[in-house]
Amino acid sequence: MSTRAFVPFRLALFYIAFFAGVGIHLPFWPVWLKAHGMDAGQIGVLLSATFFTKIVSNPLVGHWVDRRGDRRWPMVLLSLGSVLSFALFVLAGGFWPLLAVTILAGAFLASMLPVGENLSMMLAVRHGFDYGRVRLWGSLSFIAAATGGGWLIVGRPADLVLWM
């Protein structure tokens, strides 16, 4: 595979992985939280914490990435931080520990997409590929993950959501 074809292929894999995870997390995370003893109000706070976190983390990470001038290494660090922070949910019990881990995981996960989008657009210009065709794979994987995740979780323990 030529470099020209390999770059959009790798970016498509990024979008598939990222949006498949979001396609599971977004609709089914409340199920996991409820199974871990959270009531409706606590679930609402935990879900909104991710969105409030991105108000702070996205500009800070964006500034850091812009100062570095490199997009690839920060993407690796954000991905690793996201996976490791989600692993902490296994250890977190109770509202406050879950809130702390939610903020940490949200900071990594929410910051990953803007940096990835920026990298994709820069590479689309440099290598002359159609950004929309590459990004389409993320949208398709979100739909597939949300649909398939719903079928998969029916009748199974809610802890499956974290592992998916």
Tens of pLDDT, residue by residue over 94-132, are 999 999 999 999 999 999 999 999 999 999 999 999 999
CB 130 within 8 A of CB 124: yes
CB 111 within 8 A of CB 78: yes
**Could you identify the residue written with the tokens 């009748």?**
155
pLDDT at position 69, please?
Answer: 86
pLDDT at position 70, please?
Answer: 86
**Mean pLDDT across the chain, nearest whole number?**
93
pLDDT at position 131, please?
Answer: 92
Residue 3 pLDDT > 70: no
Compute the residue count for the chain. 164
Residue 36 pLDDT > 90: yes
CB 72 within 8 A of CB 119: yes
- CA 37 centroid distance within chain: 24
Mean local confidence (pLDDT), 145-156: 93
Within 8 A by CB and 6+ apart from 158, the residues are 31, 32, 34, 35, 36
With cut-offs at 50, 70 and 90, classify the pLDDT of residue 12. Answer: very high
Q: Which residues of 43-66 are buried (b: 16+ CB within 10 A; e: fewer)?
A: beebeebbeebbeebbeebeeebe
pLDDT at position 136, please?
Answer: 95
Task: Give the whole-angstrom CA distance, residue 103 versus residue 147.
Answer: 27
Give burial (CB, 10 Å; 0-12/13-18/19+) of 91. exposed
